[in-house]
Amino acid sequence: NAGVTQTPKFQVLKTGQSMTLQCAQDMNHEYMSWYRQDPGMGLRLIHYSVGAGITDQGEVPNGYNVSRSTTEDFPLRLLSAAPSQTSVYFCASSYSGGRMNNSPLHFGNGTRLTVT
């Protein structure tokens, strides 16, 4: 299994541009999520999905959209990039079984985004 795969690894955007960060997992996990990681702040949840067709907001959802049309894929869209969105973005998945306390999150290796 490849696990959780994120593309691209690096991206530079200008303010106002849009882009999609891709995330795919091959573990048949129900739960998928997006986090951003900023220095000194830990991982913060942007959006999550408990299954295909279901998404919900996390702690910091503004400026981001997600969709979950398949179990495998969970893309994150930046609608109009801002410098405040410069960060490292991690996609993570787990077999939740309906509750988060069933299994740990498995992370991808991240997308490093810079917005100028």
Partner 1 sequence: GESVGLHLPTLSVQEGDNSIINCAYSNSASDYFIWYKQESGKGPQFIIDIRSNMDKRQGQRVTVLLNKTVKHLSLQIAATQPGDSAVYFCAEDGNTGNQFYFGTGTSLTVIP
> For partner 1, which is the closer residue by CB, 17 or 44?
44
Do 114 and 11 touch, CB atoms closer than 8 A? yes
Q: Does 48 bind partner 1 (CB under 8 A)?
A: yes
Angle at 62 between CA 108 and CA 25, to 5 degrees: 20
User: Which CB sits closer to partner 1, 17 or 61?
Assistant: 61
Q: How far is the CB of 96 from partner 1 (least distance, A)?
A: 9
Instruction: Give, as ranges, the residues between 87 and 106 that touch partner 1 (CB under 8 A).
Output: 90, 92, 98-101, 104-106
Binding mask 58-87 for partner 1 (x = CB under 8 A): xx----------------------------
Cis peptide, bond prior to residue 83, ω within 30 of zero: no
> Per CB under 8 A, does 27 bind partner 1?
no
Q: Output the smallest distance, CB 110 to partner 1, in A.
A: 5
Q: Which residues bind partner 1 (CB under 8 A)?
A: 4, 33, 35, 40-43, 45, 48, 50, 56, 58-59, 90, 92, 98-101, 104-110
